[in-house]
Amino acid sequence: MRRSLAFLPTGAKARAKAKGQSKLKSELPPAIEISLVSAEVIGQVHAEFLDDPSPTDVITFDHGEILVCPAVALEQGKAYRRTLEEEVLLYGIHGLLHLLGWSDLTPVKRASMAQEQERVWRRVLALEKAKA
């Protein structure tokens, strides 16, 4: 599924600075790869790079690689009444925000990043609905 990324930077930098996200980048890496991987694979990557062997939803690498786990998305999506596609899209947005410099390492930054990813996610869904 192809989606435009044009909506991402629009106002994001100003909102981010207002919410304590001070290390934003003005551009995404020249190439971005989003891979859907199994719970086993993401657990291995999580263990190797973050010392936690449990499966997680999304892992982002600064060079532009984003790993998303649909198995985790399926389970977490149920809790939020989101479809698998909606949840995977949310994780992709989360990864893109990380590539733009957003952080979720403190409770305050996590909350502001969650708010921004929800805003972007809703905008993408509205664009998709308008196209239909």
51: left (phi over 0), alpha (psi -120 to 50) or beta: left
Contact in structure between 16 and 117 (CB atoms under 8 Å): no
Contact in structure between 118 and 50 (CB atoms under 8 Å): no
**Alpha carbons 102 and 26: distance in angstroms, whole number:** 11
Distances (CA, A) of 130 to 8, 47, 75, 77: 18, 41, 28, 23
Query: At 40, which helix (H) or strand (E)?
Result: helix 39-50
pLDDT digits (tens, 9 = 90+) for 73-130: 999 999 999 999 999 999 999 999 999 999 999 999 999 999 999 999 999 999 888 8
* Confidence category of residue 2, pLDDT binned at 50, 70, 90: very low
The answer for residues whose C-beta is within 8 angstroms of residue 105's C-beta and 6 or more apart is: none
Whole-prediction pTM: 0.82
pLDDT digits (tens, 9 = 90+) for 19-65: 566 667 778 888 999 999 999 999 999 999 999 999 999 999 999 99
Q: pLDDT at position 28, please?
A: 86
- Does residue 6 have a pLDDT over 60? no
Higher pLDDT, 15 or 72: 72
